[in-house]
Structure formats: structure tokens, C-alpha cells
Structure 1
Amino acid sequence: MIILGFFVLHWYFSILMQTFFLHRYASHQMFTMSKSWEKVFYILTFIAQGSSFLSPRAYGIMHRLHHAHADTEEDPHSPSYSKGILDMMWKTRLIYNRILHNQDSVEAKFKKGVPNWKFMEWLGDLWICRLAWGVLYTLFYIKFATAWWMFLLLPIHYLMGPIHGVIINWYAHRYGYVNFEVDDTAKNLLPLDLLMMGESYHNNHHKYGGRANFGFKWHEFDPTYPLIKILDALHIIKLKINNDLKYM
């Protein structure tokens, strides 16, 4: 039970920081926050993602490219231009690394306003740091695992961030249902998204990219949105536009 609890905690803490900080804040700037709070969420993202830490700056820029060029050859991660999941992940990694190390030729407009705490960007990308997180996960499993099959979960811990990304960037462009007509293949992967904390309402998001609540239909509950409303009420963040719940 300890191992399964740890896995669930890591899964949801990681996807929460990815959808809240990397996606809705760094990429789309759906809300604002002070530089002090930005650093707090940088640290929380570093802890949540651990060995698979994704740079908020590089993620934000790359995701903007995805929206601007969805399902074209310029899309950083499109199933339509990939031979398979691993091929898409490898291409995404190459583009991500070029942006991360300032070796890209991305237009300045895609880089405007992305968060950039250089120390945490550097620390999170250190291989020795990623390895240390992996060792900690492994030692935890050695201590508390009660069956051999539990160790099969370890690779997911090591690559948690990219795995969350590929679930949406691959499967939500191939499977699911559509609420809105868009110029790409984005679909809503799950009718009730308790797995990806609202991220799987991908068709909705591609239609209304600046809307903080990803759900539209009555059954499309976005678990991240109530947290955003709470943080807004506490003046930790400030929503830029009216994002009240509206259902179809």
C-alpha cells in the first residue's frame, strides 16, 4: 500500500504542476503571479517532477509552437508526422533541448513572458541531479516494496513528465471525441478526466486556448480549475479573464 500510495502521490503531484505551472501559466499565461510565488512554484515543480523535471521556460516556448503549428511539420510533437510514440518523443526531446540550451531559431514572439529562473533551470537539468532523484525513488522501492511487480512502476517515476506529455500529445490527437471543430486533430481523450487533471480535454483547449477551465460539457470536470479559483481568491495568482464555470 505504501508503494501504491507513493506512486499515486507522485503521479498527481507531477501532473498538477505540469498543467498548472508549465501549461496554464508558463505557456498560456492564463493568470499572473509575483516573482516570489513564481519561484515557489518552480521549486514545487522541481520536487514534483524530480528526475523528469521539465524547464518551464522551454516547455512554455515549445507548447506555444505546438498551438501555432498543430499537426503540421513545424509541430514539435505531432503523431501525424511521427513514425510512432518513441519517434515523436525523440523529436520532442531534440527540439526541447535546443530551446533549453538557446540553440534554437524560434521567433521572439513565442518567447515573450515565459518564466526563467536560471538557477532552477540549470539545477533541474543536471544529469547528476536527475540521477539522484532516480536513486531516491529506487531506494524507496527497495525499502517498502512487498512484491516484485511493484518495481515495474519505477520507469514511470523516472520519466513521469514526458509520460504525461505523450499521453496527451499522442493519444489525445488520435483517440477520443470532439466538441468543437478545430484546424487540427485535437480530441477530448476522457469524458471525465480524473486521470490527467483536465489535460485530456484537449479539443476544448485547442478551441479556447486562453480559457483556464478546460471543461465545457456538464460531465467534463477539470480538477485543476477549482484550485486555480482558490489561489485566485487567496491572491496568490490573478486570473486575467473571466473563467467562470460554463457548461454545454
Structure 2
Amino acid sequence: MIILYFFLAHWYLSLFAQTFFLHRYAAHQMFTMKPFWEKVFYILTYIFQGSSFLSPYAYGVMHRMHHAYADTEKDPHSPSYSKNLFDMMWKTKNIYNDILNKRVAIDPKFTKNVPYWGFIEKLGDQWISRIAWGTAYSLFYIKFATHWWMYLLLPIHFLMGPVHGAIINWFAHRVGYINFKVSDTAKNLLPVDFLMMGESYHNNHHKLGGRANFGVKWHEFDPTYPFILAFNFLHVIKLKRNNDLNYM
């Protein structure tokens, strides 16, 4: 059982870092935080995502481009312009690396106020760091795994961040239900989002891109939103009043 607990802990901690810090903060600026707390969450993101660390800077820029160009040829990750899931994720990886390594010119509106801490950005992207984290996961499994099938979970640990991205960027544009008519294919993947901490309410988010609570209907509970309210109450962050508006 310890392996399953470890897997679930890694799944949800990595997902929390992605939805809270990379998505809602870096990309959409739904709330503000002081430089100290920004560095704290940078470090936590590095720890929680580990071998699949995603740059808050590159993620923030790329996600803003996704909203601006959703389901067009300029969209960094659209199922409408990819042969399959793996083709889409490969394209996403290439665009992400181009942004990360500043190999492409980016419209300033996509980079405005996106957080950047060079030390963690560079550390998290180094192969030695990714391999070290992957080795730590593997050693944990060697110590505690009791059945061979448990080792099948290891590749998900190695690629946790991209796995989370693939679930939303592919499936939430192909299956699900719609609350709002939008100009793209974004759908709500799950009526109760126990899996993606609110990220699966993708149609809601594409309609209300700056809204901190991704749930809209009575049954759409966003598990990340209570953390946002708690951090706001504790003055760790400052939630913007008009957070139902788009960032642009």
C-alpha cells in the first residue's frame, strides 16, 4: 500500500504545483504574492514535480498563447492540429523548449509579469537533476514495491507534469460536456473533478479565463480553490477582486 500512497501523493502534489503556481499564478495572475512567497512556491514546484519539473516562465507564456490562439495553427497544443496525442505532446515539448531557451521571439503581452527565477529554472531543467529525481523514485520502489505491476507506475512518476498536461490538453478538447459556448473545443472533462483538482473544468476556464474558482455549477467542486481562499486569508497571496475577467 505504501507504493500507492506514494504515487497518489506525487500525483496530487505535482498537480497542485501545476494548477496553483504554474497555471493560476504564472499564466493568469489570478492572485499576487510577494517575492518571498514566489520563491517558496518555486522551490515547492521543483520538489513536487521533481523529474518532470516544468518552468513557470515557459509554462506561463505557452499557456497564454494557448488561450490567445486556441484551436488554431498557432495553438501550442491543439488536438485539432495534431495526428494523435503523442504528436500533440511532441509539438508541445518543442514549443516549450523554444520558449524556455529563448529561441523564438515572443509578443511582450505573453511575457508580462510572468515569474522567472533563473536558479530554479536552470536547475529543474538539467538532465542530472531529472535523472537524480528519477533514481530516487526508482530506489523507493525497489525498497517498498511488493508486486511487479507496481513498477508500471514509474514512467508516470518520471513524466508526471506532461501526463497532467496531456490529460487536459487532449481529452478536455475532445470529450466532456459544455456549460458555455466558446470559440474553441474546450470541454469540461469530469462533472466532479476528483482527478485533476479543478483543471478538468476546461470549458468553464476558457470562458472565464481569469476566474480563480474553475467550478461554476453546483456539482463542480474545484479542490484547489479552498487552498487559494486559505492562502488569501493567511496573506500568503492576495486574490484579485475581479478574477472573473480574462488576463488580457
Structure 2: how far apart are the matches of 1:84 and 1:66? 18
Query: 1:179 corresponds to which residue?
Result: 179
Contact kept? 2:175, 2:187, Cα under 8 Å:
yes
Q: Match of 2:87, as an amino acid?
A: D
Instruction: State the match for 1:157 in structure 2.
Output: 157
Q: What is aligned with 1:96?
A: 96
How many Å separate the matches in 2 of 1:2 and 1:243? 39
Q: Which amino acid aligns with 2:53?
A: F
SS of 1:89's partner is: helix
Residue in structure 2 matched with residue 55 of structure 1 by the alignment: 55
Matched, 1:204 2:204: yes
In structure 1, distance between residues paired with 2:9 and 2:220: 23
Contact 2:65 2:76 in 1 (8 A): yes
Question: Equivalent residue for 1:23?
Answer: 23
Distance of 2:217 and 2:243 partners within structure 1? 15
CA distance in 2 between partners of 1:77 and 1:242 (Å): 28
Secondary structure in 2 matching 1:64: helix
Deviations 1:107-158 (A, max 9, x none): 1110000000000000000000000000000000000000000000000000
CA distance in 2, matches of 1:142, 1:219: 41
Q: Residue type matched to 2:59 in 1?
A: Y
After TM superposition, the structure 1 stretch with the greater mean CA deviation from structure 2, 138-147 or 98-107, is 98-107
Q: Alpha-carbon deviation of 1:242?
A: 5.0
Unmatched tracts of structure 2, length 5 or more: none
C-alpha separation in 1, matches of 2:140 and 2:194? 26
**TM-score with structure 1 length normalisation?**
0.97
| C-alpha distance in structure 2 between counterparts of 1:172 and 1:7, whole Å | 23
Other-structure match for 1:2: 2
Superposition pairs for residues 118-137 of structure 1, below 5 Å?
118-137=118-137
Matched, 1:66 2:52: no
Amino acid at match of 2:190: L
Q: Report the AA paired with residue 115 of structure 1.
A: P
> Aligned letter for 1:138?
S
| Pairing of 1:225-236 with structure 2 (within 5 A) | 225-236=225-236
Q: Which amino acid aligns with 1:209?
A: G
In structure 1, the gaps of 5 or more residues are none
Q: Deviations over 1:178-235 (max 9, x none)?
A: 0000000000000000110000000000000000000000000000001000000000
Matched AA of 2:215:
G
Deviation at 1:80, TM superposition (A): 0.2
Give, in whole Å, the separation in 1 of the partners of 2:90 and 2:231.
36
Residue number in structure 2 paired with 1:108: 108
Aligned residue pairs total 244
Written as runs of structure 1 = structure 2, the 5 A alignment for 1:77-96 is 77-96=77-96
**Partner residue of 1:191?**
191
Alignment-mate amino acid for residue 165 of structure 1: G
**How far, CA to CA, are the matches of 1:189 and 1:105 in structure 2?**
33
Which 4+ stretches in 1 moved above 2 angstroms?
A: none
In 1, Cα distance between the equivalents of 2:111 and 2:216? 29
How many Å separate the matches in 1 of 2:61 and 2:128? 25
Could you say which residue in structure 2 is the equivalent of 1:144? 144
- RMSD of the alignment, in Å? 0.9
Partner of 1:42: 42
% identical aligned pairs? 73
1:243 is displaced (CA, Å) by 5.8
